[in-house]
Structure 1
Amino acid sequence: QEISSLWIFGFLLIRSTAWTLGLENFPTKFVVANRNDPGPITLTCDAKPEGNVTWRFEGEEVEEGDTRGSTLILSEVDAPVLGEYSCWNGHRRLSSTYLLLEDEDEVKIDSLLSCRATSYDCNFHCRWNNVEFTTVRLGLGRNCTEGEKSCQWITESCPIVPDCGFNFTIPHSLSPYEEESTMLELTAEAIRNLSVLRRTKRFYLRDIVKPDSPQIVGYQEQEQHLKVTIEPPSSWSRPHSFFVLEHEIEYVLKDNGKTGRSSSSLIPKRISKLRVRSRDPFVVSAWSHWTMRITSTSPTLFLSLYSHIYYLCVPLAINLLHCVYFVLWKLYNMSC
């Protein structure tokens, strides 16, 4: 009795897993049915051979349904009849079509899909945030919104690893030098079990711009201030004279531990910590993430070290370790 129960449980578990992970990628051909639509569903065989055409569902010959030549008409659509239908001419498989169900989840697209552009260059990045789905695809343009065959889908799958997420890089053809007048249309389709969720997200590229963290590359001592030299991240659009970034410096005063911020490159001289972030001032974009916080009991010395290593060592990466030793020795002698 116990062995029999375990066998049945194992069989059901395997079947459940196969159902859940049945589609690791989008089928080449599929039809989506709506549970609330009482109308019949018609499946069409791609080939029209001489002789009879028979239909199989998950490998078994279809007994229910109305067969008319190379088409199969299903009057009722529910979970038991979802899956792969194939048409045959004798022992020759002609084509197959998956019958899927429209996902009725009313979740908003903004909670499912988040997008970000690190510059105005030729692509942006999106992440699908719901891990219940096994495969997701994104398509940019009106042709994808309307489901045309010309849509160039970008597909990601995550069938086994839990919480692996879906990350996309979406190319676009917008000119970085022209003002946007039309919103981008990004269509998402996602499969879980044998149901398809479809949503469209509309936005301007400028609304999702968020630069990467900038680089602190040097400083210049003045009477009561430090002038910090900040450069845009390497991923930011060029030329930097045209694609200007504004920077914000956050610092901690060494004397009293108070925190201050500066939108200019000048900060008080006696500080113990600082970090920087950037944004596009013309579209008031989102701020970048803060840089790593620079901490030192001698911030001017630390910034000098940072500057020397950046300008001297990085171009000589083949001798990077020797270069760092040289800079440390040089700054040690300067501070004595």
Structure 2
Amino acid sequence: MLVLVGLVLCLAPADALTAFPPKFQVGKLNGDLVVKCNTSEQQVTWTQNGEPEPMAELVAEGQTLTILGLDLPAVGNYSCWAGTVLLDTTYVVVSGTREEGMNVSCQAESYRGSFRCSWTGPRSAVFHARLTRSDGSLGEWVPAAGCCGQFSASFADPSFCPFAEELRPLQLQLEGLSDTSYLNFSTHFFVRDIVRPDPPQELTVQQRGEQLHLAWAPPASWPLPKSYFALLYRLQYELPNGTQVVKYVEGAEETQLQERTRRVRISCQDPYANPTWSPWSTWQDVNAAQQRRLRAH
């Protein structure tokens, strides 16, 4: 038996989304929208957001349901049933919302073709995202994590070659659904422009006569060989009077300091691409490091 329901003159919000629905349709505000029940059943009944009397003017015919004059009270989950058996569900939203300047930020820790993107959006929205890879192939949709207007997702481009010149940018496409609207945004970027290394590791401090010898290793996530993926290092050390001094080292993973030093830390960058410095390592207290070394011997 088909159910035809008249317009109910009151407002009820759509069910809050907690995950991106597997099936959705986007209609124009005040336009008509046809929803199809994916079933072989010829006679079905419809609900909107679980209610047997949808808040919309509907025309049901066989396996299709036409929503007349789609408005905000008419958005939400439309489910078709055969008796008490759920056959299919479609989430209906309103089109026409393209988020300009969604503040999308992507960051890669190295040239391995994997990176993470984050962005802002409506607090009630859910998102998924996909990547058009460097070889032109289209990736799978990836559910976004997050809440309260902050979202993120991780991606990998298996076709990315760290030794080859990037000739075409990657494209990131975002799709979002709020309680009422469809959100769509895309951005292009090169991996070389979003690389920010992790901090260098294994910073050691050793007193050698009047000199302080410092040594370290590249980030564990940084690709090899070192001769090809060179790094510029930035040391910051603090003198006993509190003055902080910066020293740059390229082509080496050790250096000496002539001055008395209280503590040191280090960061790095790829000097041949986007000049974004890694986060600083934690401060290394020189006296504490010397005491640990003495205890070890």
Q: TM-score, normalised by structure 1?
A: 0.71
**Aligned mates of 1:267, 1:178 — CA distance in 2:** 38
Contact 1:127 1:166 in 2 (8 A): yes
2:34: which partner in 1? 42
- The answer to whether 1:22 aligns with 2:12 is no
Q: Which amino acid aligns with 2:16?
A: G
Q: Distance in 2 between matches of 1:224 and 1:276?
A: 21
Deviations 1:251-282 (A, max 9, x none): 2233x543321112343332223221100111
1:181 aligns with one of 150, 153, 167 = 167
Q: 1:289 to 1:92 in 2, by over 3 A?
A: closer
Does 1:268 pair with 2:262?
A: no
Separation in structure 2 between the aligned mates of residue 167 and residue 79 of structure 1, nearest angstrom: 28
Consecutive aligned runs of 4 or more in structure 1 exceeding 6 Å deviation: none
CA contact (8 A) 2:192 2:274 kept: no
Which structure shows the bigger proportion of residues in strand conformation?
2
Structure 1 stretch 220-229 or stretch 257-266: which is displaced more?
Answer: 220-229
Deviations 1:157-194 (A, max 9, x none): 556xx57x433221112111111111111111223323
User: Which residue identity is paired with 1:78?
Assistant: D
Q: What is aligned with 2:143?
A: 155
Paired residue total? 278
Map Cα deviations across residues 282-335 of structure 1 (whole Å, 9 max, x no partner). Answer: 11431011111223xxx3x544456x5xxxxxxxxxxxxxxxxxx5264xxxxx
Structure 1 residues 21 and 158, CA gap change in structure 2 (3 angstroms): farther
2:270 maps to 1:285: no
Unaligned 5+ runs, structure 2: 1-10, 250-254
Confirm whether residue 136 of structure 1 aligns to residue 127 of structure 2.
yes
Write the mapping of 1:257-336 to structure 2, written as runs, cut at 5 A: 257-264=242-249, 265-295=255-285, 299=286, 301-304=287-290, 308=293, 327-328=294-295, 330=297
Alignment match, 1:172: 157
Matched, 1:93 2:86: yes
Whether the 8 Å contact between 2:195 and 2:274 is mirrored in structure 1 is: no
Task: Determine which structure has the larger helix proportion and give its number.
Answer: 1
Secondary structure in 1 matching 2:87? strand
Task: Name the counterpart of 2:3.
Answer: none
- Following superposition, the deviation at residue 97 of structure 1 comes to 1.0
Q: Percent identity?
A: 28
Task: Give the Cα–Cα distance (whole angstroms) in 1 for the partners of residues 233 and 36 of structure 2.
Answer: 60
1:60 aligns with 2:60: no
Could you tell me whether the CA contact under 8 Å between 2:57 and 2:68 is conserved in 1?
Answer: no
Q: Distance in 2 between matches of 1:84 and 1:60?
A: 12
For residues 105 and 198 of structure 1, do their structure 2 counterparts lie closer, same or farther at Cα, with a shift above 3 Å needed?
closer
Find the partner of 1:218 among 197, 201, 204.
204
TM, length-normalised to structure 2: 0.79
Q: Distance in 2 between matches of 1:208 and 1:221?
A: 38
Please say if residues 118 and 211 of structure 1, whose CA atoms lie closer than 8 Å, have aligned partners that are also in contact. Answer: yes
Are the equivalent residues in 1 in contact too, given 2:129–2:172 (CA < 8 A)?
A: yes
Unaligned runs of 5+ in 1: 1-14, 309-326, 331-336
Query: Secondary structure of the equivalent of 1:209?
Result: coil
CA, structure 1 residues 274+157, in 2 after alignment: closer, same or farther (shift >3 Å)? Answer: closer
Question: Paired residue for 2:97, among 96, 104, 109?
Answer: 104
Aligned equivalents of 1:170, 1:328: Cα separation in 2: 45
SS of the equivalent of 2:144 reads strand
